[in-house]
A = this chain, B = another copy of it.
């Protein structure tokens, strides 16, 4: 079956890798319209396949959405890891800790701004919504954050008694600014304002972490 631009070219009756193709197409939908846009029939259509075929690979629509969500989460964590690796580590361990913290926050917010549909999908409700440290996604992301905070605590930049729950406090700030910027009250800001607002939020959070 021959399809147009950006579509699949199929050779025979059997697709070969339909499960992946469906997640690909469904992810494109999510990218453009968020989790609500993940429509099984449309994904199948775009993969050049009947809607029924999808049921060979996914138990139902929610199952497909779940795969899309996992992929979106994966891209987000990867962006965080990439941003950490993007600049050179600093010699001073405290400065290095803050560099990493800022990199994590920046990657998170930038991802939300660049891919709002995927960002929203990464956090959408599915069958089971996992808890922070438990599911594979936030396991990785949480670990990145925890290690960084531990590091800062180890070199005395964070008082030990304030260390607990700091993951959540930092996550909340960054998540809050991201969601407000992409579909909330801050969505109409100019580039300049947006930058200022992000910087202020990160500065406040980092300052708040350090002092007691």
Residues on A close to B: CB < 8 A?
123, 125, 129-132, 135, 138, 162, 164-166, 168-177, 179-180, 183-189, 196-197, 200-201, 203-209, 211-212
Contacts and interface: CB of A to CB of B under 8 A. Distances in A.
A173 B179 CA distance: 11
A177 B185 contact: no
Q: Is the interface of A mostly helix, strand, loop or mixed?
A: helix
B179 A179 contact: yes
7 contacts: A123-B185, A169-B200, A169-B205, A172-B177, A173-B204, A179-B179, A204-B205
Contacts of A207: 207-208, 211-212
Contact of A131 (B170, B172, B189): B189
B125 A185 contact: no
A200 B165 contact: yes
A129 B201 contact: no
Contacts of A187: 129, 131
Given A180-B175, A184-B123, A207-B212, A201 B131 contact: no
Given A204-B205, A208-B204, A175 B164 contact: no
Nearest to A170: B204
Contact of A172 (B135, B176, B209): B176
A131 B185 CA distance: 5
